[in-house]
Structure 1
């Protein structure tokens, strides 16, 4: 991926989303969270979301009011709510989900020690929710890079729809003594 001085950069934090057009590059960094990218090849518009959980927990479950109303409490941290927000953004352009290329990323396991517990994992639930929600809203998932161990950086170039991915797997061996010392001291350069 080349730096392009002509592209406006948008960095999504967890719970944020962006949709639009123009000379824009949208990026995010994922662990167990999931990102969905959407791109319309003819109109050259699209977007990305970065959600933390598939849906609100039952204790938090105050249903959002009518979309766009003053009482709308939909939240980008939850997959079901942010995908609804993106569907509304798609509809506001006069286009439909079937016209978009959708891609799904993330859901990485960040701690090997948690696998031994055998519990339902947040990353797995996030990925399955993403697949289900894309299908439910009429988007065809063209590609995905999900699961495994480690984190990902995802970049969407809106003008051409290219999506770039950098996956950094977790180490399989503990750091050696020199690496632990450097890590403890921080970057001294």
Structure 2
């Protein structure tokens, strides 16, 4: 029998982490979500960021990948996860618009930031579904690390 999960919808520029079993849903276009999971403590967390890096001007919020990843990692460790146990999964970064500033695509830059920071923090990426021209709906199970996702057409976002 499948366990009943408490559900949480994750909005852009936010993050969520829990010791309790949750299923977290979010919708991604060019945004990226990183799911972190500690298989030993069963603590899971996810962020949803819109832009790759904070430029130092406005508020340092989880709207930016570099901030969102650090904040999620801090929250996971605060809840009892061990950095050396963490596994990561990356989703999103689709190119739904023709191109961003100076021809660099936002989705591509969001994916690059995720991979660089996770590598720098020595957190292995065990799965990913990134890029392309379709958005994604994902369901993240915080206690098992399982992620279910489906592709969405532009009109479904």
**Smaller-chain TM-score bracket:** 0.7 to 0.9
Write out per-residue CA displacement over residues 65-111 of structure 1, whole angstroms, 9 at most, x where no aligned residue.
xxxxxxxx531101111111112123224443230120001000113
Write out per-residue CA displacement over residues 27-81 of structure 1, whole angstroms, 9 at most, x where no aligned residue.
11000000000111121111100000111235x26xxxxxxxxxxx531101111
Structure with higher Rg: it is: 1
Specify the SS of the correspondent of 1:129: helix
Aligned pair in 2 of structure 1 residues 51, 165: CA closer, same or farther (>3 Å)? same
| Contact 2:54/2:60 (<8 A) preserved | no
Specify the SS of the correspondent of 1:32: coil
Write out per-residue CA displacement over residues 83-142 of structure 1, whole angstroms, 9 at most, x where no aligned residue.
11112123224443230120001000113xx15x98111111000001011112221100
Specify the SS of the correspondent of 1:25: strand
1:25 to 4, 23, 27: 23
Q: Distance between the aligned counterparts of 1:159 and 1:94, measured in 2? A: 13
Write out per-residue CA displacement over residues 1-35 of structure 1, whole angstroms, 9 at most, x where no aligned residue.
xxx67211110110010011212111110000000
Ranges in structure 2 where 5+ consecutive residues have no aligned partner: none
Q: Distance between the aligned counterparts of 1:135 and 1:96, measured in 2? A: 16
Q: How does 1:72-111 map to 2 (within 5 A)?
A: 74-111=60-97
Work out which structure has the larger RCO, using CA pairs closer than 8 Å and 6 or more positions apart in sequence: 2
Task: After TM superposition, give the deviation of residue 170 of structure 1 in Å.
Answer: 5.4
Q: Distance between the aligned counterparts of 1:131 and 1:169, measured in 2? A: 25
Q: Distance between the aligned counterparts of 1:57 and 1:74, measured in 2? A: 9
Q: Distance between the aligned counterparts of 2:72 and 2:154, measured in 1? A: 32
Backbone CA RMSD of aligned residues: 2.1
Q: Distance between the aligned counterparts of 1:170 and 1:85, measured in 2? A: 30
Q: Distance between the aligned counterparts of 1:145 and 1:133, measured in 2? A: 17
Aligned length: 153
Specify the SS of the correspondent of 1:85: helix
Give the TM-score, by structure 1 length: 0.74
Aligned pair in 2 of structure 1 residues 45, 95: CA closer, same or farther (>3 Å)? closer
